[in-house]
Structure 1
Amino acid sequence: MDSTGRDGIIASDESDQHQEPLLQPKQQPTAETVSSALEDMLSDTELPRFRRLSRATRIELNTLFRLAAPAVVVYLLNNVTSMSTQIFCGHLGNLELAAASLGNNGIQIFAYGLMLGMGSAVETLCGQAYGAHKYEMLGVYLQRSTILLMATAIPVMFIYIFSKQLLLLLGESTSIASAAAVFVYGLIPQIFAYAANFPIQKFLQAQSIVFPSAYISAATFAMHLLLSWIVIYKLGVGLLGASLMLSFSWWVIVVAQFVYILVSDRCKLTWRGFSSQAFTGLWDFLKLSTASAVMLCLETWYYQILVLIAGLLQDAEIALDALSICMTISGWVYMISVGFNAAARSGKQRAGSRAPESSGVRGDRGDVQLLPHRGLPGDRGAGAAQCHQLRLHERHHRLRRRLRALPLPRCLHHPQWHSARSLRSGCRVWMASFCRVCERGMLLHYRHSNRRALGLQI
């Protein structure tokens, strides 16, 4: 073979070696495949605008329901697990049902709202890191949040320990306060289960991994019913056994989800094992978690105050029993909306690589619908970020009247879920947090990755 042929083969081999790294991104199992059907539909100028929007809406709704169905199942099953414990206690008597209602909705909901709110910071940071392909940071954020929530659970535990004294101080009857304290003692392990569960849950949701959590919750619920029946009725442990079984079921969910993270191929790049980086930047992470927790605690404390007030009525047992049933029904509707908001999403394409029309914010069709807009500031350079006014859906006037009619905690809650979930971008473009609700509308405060502020006025 002549030298020219050998040089050609060597050059070809060197060219193949240089091209090998270009194939590596295809081997990333955690990278979510984003369909371009929606972007192609919106950028097709040959179709009328109404037809483009109608077809794009169908495509987006299919994606929304595909993600929302398992998320709704997870939240409903977790809610039904706690509800079934109250039902078991209700068969023991009116006092037991009142005690379970006061302990579950009057004290335990404080820890639930605090832990869920602080854990929501994981979703914001993990969604940003996942879109930026910094997969190893997802595991660091998960560990960092778990450390903070476990530390927060320690002072909350003392509220459970001295629950009887606190209830008596608030004016509750001695019999109900004593029975509720027994029930609350069994919920102490559940505090730490919350501290581990919510970061794991947000860690998985940031990667659009929702079906495993649904399967785990369904299996745990079936196990919870069987164990609760045995412990309460066959062994006769009563209120303490009911609350202990509830705590045990939550720990089963935590362990099962963590085992899935360890063995699943979808989490190989996002979970690299325990890291010392989890102990760095805790103060900044705490500030973000606290801001997220305050928004959700406003609503959970609202229900908590209602339960505590019901215990001060003349016939406290009947009042707490009736309120427990009403809150159970309300909880179903609440969890369905939370599940849909968990599936609300924003586009994961950069405006520079896709049509500008495809870069608009999309979300739950039951709440705010933002029409497509021209480009995102993040794609014009760090120094070109500026405030953009987005056009609203044609029904924005009715939405404004509806927001005024809703209670303040509901107004605070829905934008928080919407901003934290539907505005998490896969390309590190958006990072949102709810600021305030004013009389004339609702203000969302967006923070760009270059720390420049962007505003949205409704």
Structure 2
Amino acid sequence: MASAVQTVCGQAYGARQYSSMGIICQRAMVLHLAAAVLLTFLYWYSGPILKAMGQTVAIAHEGQVFARGMIPQIYAFALACPMQRFLQAQNIVNPLAYMSLGVFLLHTLLTWLVTNVLDFGLLGAALILSFSWWLLAAVNGLYIVMSPSCRETWTGFSARALTGIWPYLKLTVASAVMLCLEIWYNQGLVIISGLLTNPTISLDAISICVRVSNELGAGNPRVAKLSVVVVNITTVLISLFLCVVVLVFRVGLSKAFTSDKEVIVAVSDLFPLLAVSIFLNGIQPILSGVAIGSGWQAVVAYVNLVTYYVIGLPIGCVLGFKTSLGVAGIWWGMIAGVILQTITLIVLTLRTNWTSEVENAAHRLKASANESQEMATEGV
């Protein structure tokens, strides 16, 4: 949902409509908090949901324990994500990085204490994660309120945030669908792996691979002023380097996540596929970023639905359950979906009429401003 903030705030900043950016951020917080209330029920009853999906009692129980501990994080997300996109739209990146680094270091220390020293297990780890996100939200909020950099874009809380919600809501829903289809695709494959023979080993192996892939793949440079071509070239080089690192140190990286010998072997066997995923995950987020910045969320949502769920997921299920590939087959299905999505986004980007996109952005900002003004006048 927060990617809509990135779209509208980024375009407002480019159009020098600075005063509207704070209103957009606040409007997003209102919608995100409403969504957080709905998600709370999903998190609380995650155990029965996992059982209904065919997971074992042990996996469902542990998943529920962790999910319930993560409920406070949902509300921190609802506040932190719009603020981060609000700052990113103004090219305020370094302060965000410093704040995140500080919270990360504290989070690492607290997690070690809670899990290794106090032995609070999954629930303790989840609660510390929720606390860290609330701390990050608080620090981001203080920066926005107190920093001179946000003096023009943040003018205080306003009732205008409760007006003009409908056009923004449509973009927010499209953003949520677009990114949820992408995130659920990876996590869905993890859940499916829990249905394979020897689910504990399969689940641990693919979970570790998905985590490594996401973290390393996200290490691409976000340099807004450089062209998409230059960023992609840079990202390809970084991704290739990370692929080599993963392939050379596959056993060592496996041991960083688990001490179970069977899981280490299973993860090591999957690392060639992981290297391919890291390469793709280096390019795909940049293309998705172009789509978000241009307001194409609805179009990309359909692309994700077809490439991931109509094509990639069935391929993964067939290879995983009907052949001897097992977890590797599920992973091949994921790769197929990502490749098709990446190709489609490349075609969309190459065929884009950027003059028309500028006109669309101006129309979107004007429509949002007009609706806010009309609703404010009616309120008076």
Question: Does TM, normalized by the shorter one, top 0.5?
Answer: yes
Aligned twin of 1:222: 105
Which residue identity does 1:417 align to in structure 2? G
1:435 to 299, 309, 317: 299
Q: Return the alpha-carbon distance in structure 1 between the equivalents of residues 191 and 170 of structure 2.
A: 30
> Cα–Cα, structure 1 residues 439 and 119, in superposed 2: closer, same or farther, change >3 Å?
closer
Question: CA separation in 2, counterparts of 1:255 and 1:183?
Answer: 23
Please give the root-mean-square deviation of Cα atoms over the aligned residues, in Å: 2.9
The aligned amino acid for 1:156 is L
Q: SS where residue 156 of structure 2 aligns?
A: coil
**Structure 2 unmatched runs, 5+:** 235-276, 304-343, 365-380
2:238 is aligned to: none
TM-score (norm 2): 0.66
Among 246, 249, 252, the residue aligned to 2:129: 246
- CA 406–294 in structure 1, closer or farther in 2 if over 3 Å, else same: farther
Of 343, 359, 381 in structure 1, the residue corresponding to residue 223 of structure 2 is 343
CA contact (8 A) 2:214 2:281 kept: no
CA deviation string 1:241-270 (max 9, x = no partner): 110001111111111011011111111111
* Amino acid aligned to 1:365: V
Partners of 1:299 and 1:409 in 2: CA distance:
12
Identify the structure with the greater strand proportion: 1
Does the 8 A contact of 1:416 with 1:434 survive in 2?
no
Describe the shift of the 1:418–1:410 C-alpha distance in structure 2 as closer, same or farther (beyond 3 A): same
1:256 aligns with 2:121: no
Partner of 2:207: 324
Tell me, yes or no, if the aligned pair for 1:419 and 1:433 is still in contact at 8 Å. yes
Contact 2:178 2:297 in 1 (8 A): no
The 2-side partners of 1:363 and 1:414 are apart by 8
**1:420 and 2:292 matched:** yes
Distance in 2, Cα, partners of 1:194 & 1:125: 19
Look up the match of 2:153. 270
Aligned length: 274
CA deviation digits over 1:381-424, x for unaligned, max 9? xxxxxxxxxxxxxxxxxxxxxxxx99999997543312334x6x
* Number of the residue aligned with 2:228: 363
Partners of 1:182 and 1:276 in 2: CA distance: 38
Instruction: State yes or no: 1:309 paired with 2:192.
Output: yes
Residue in 2 aligned with 1:351?
A: none
2:180 to 288, 297, 306: 297
Q: Is the 8 A contact 1:164 1:181 kept in 2?
A: yes
Separation in 2 of the partners of 1:262 and 1:439? 37
Contact 1:149/1:196 (CA < 8 Å) preserved in 2?
yes
Amino acid at match of 1:420: I
- Distance in structure 1 (CA, Å) of the matches to 2:134 and 2:205: 30
Shift in CA distance, 280/322, structure 1 to aligned 2, threshold 3 Å: same
Deviation at 1:214, TM superposition (A): 0.8
Q: Is the 8 A contact 2:218 2:282 kept in 1?
A: no
Structure 1 Cα separation of the partners of residues 50 and 216 of structure 2: 29
Q: Which moved more, 1:161-170 or 1:215-224?
A: 215-224
Amino acid in the other structure paired with 1:363? V
What is the Cα deviation at residue 316 of structure 1? 1.6
Aligned partners of 1:434 and 1:444 also within 8 Å: no
CA 1:294/1:243 → structure 2, altered by over 3 Å: closer, same or farther? same
Write the letter of the residue equivalent to 1:179: E
Change (3 A) 1:439 1:198: closer
Q: Following the alignment from structure 2 to structure 1, what is the Cα–Cα distance between the partners of residues 117 and 288?
A: 44
Q: What stretches of structure 1 of length at least 5 have no aligned partner? A: 1-117, 347-361, 370-404, 424-430, 453-458
Q: Which protein is bigger by CA-based radius of gyration?
A: 1
Q: 1:133 to 1:344 in 2, by over 3 A?
A: closer
The change in CA–CA distance for 1:214 and 1:199 in structure 2 (over 3 A counts) is same
Highest relative contact order (Cα 8 Å, sep 6+), 1 or 2? 1
Tell me if the contact between 2:232 and 2:283 (Cα under 8 Å) persists in the aligned partners.
Answer: no
Residue 24 of structure 2 corresponds to residue 159 of structure 1:
no
Q: Secondary structure at the match of 1:435?
A: helix
**Deviations for 1:20-76, whole angstroms, at most 9, x for unmatched residues?**
xxxxxxxxxxxxxxxxxxxxxxxxxxxxxxxxxxxxxxxxxxxxxxxxxxxxxxxxx
Match of 1:143 in 2: 26
In the alignment, residue 273 of structure 1 is paired with which amino acid?
Answer: G
* Paired position in structure 1 for 2:260: none
Mean Cα deviation higher: 442-451 or 275-284: 442-451
Residues of 1 paired with 2:202 and 2:50: CA distance? Answer: 16
Query: In the alignment, residue 206 of structure 1 is paired with which amino acid?
Result: A
Residue 213 of structure 1: SS of its match in structure 2?
helix
Verify the 8 A CA contact 1:344 1:364 in the aligned structure 2: no
Structure with the bigger percentage of helix: 2
Q: Using the alignment, how far apart are the partners of 1:440 and 1:418 within structure 2?
A: 10
* Superimposed CA distance per residue, residues 331-366 of structure 1 (whole angstroms, 9 cap, x where no aligned partner): 1232113xx3x43347xxxxxxxxxxxxxxx32524
Report Cα offsets for 1:310-331 as digits up to 9, x if no partner.
1112212111211122112211
> Which whole-Å CA distance do the structure 2 matches of 1:450 and 1:417 have between them?
19
* Aligned residue identity for 2:291: S
**C-alpha displacement at 1:143, in angstroms?**
0.2
- For the 8 Å contact 2:103–2:135, the answer to whether it is kept is yes
What amino acid maps onto 1:441 in structure 2? V
The DSSP-based 3-state class of the residue aligned with 2:76 is helix
Match of 2:170 in 1: 287
1:121-176, Cα deviation, whole Å (9 max, x unpaired): 11121122222222111110000001101111111111101100000000100011
> Percent of counterpart pairs with the same letter?
41
Q: Does 1:199 align with 2:110?
A: no
Alpha-carbon contact 1:298-1:409 (below 8 Å) kept: no
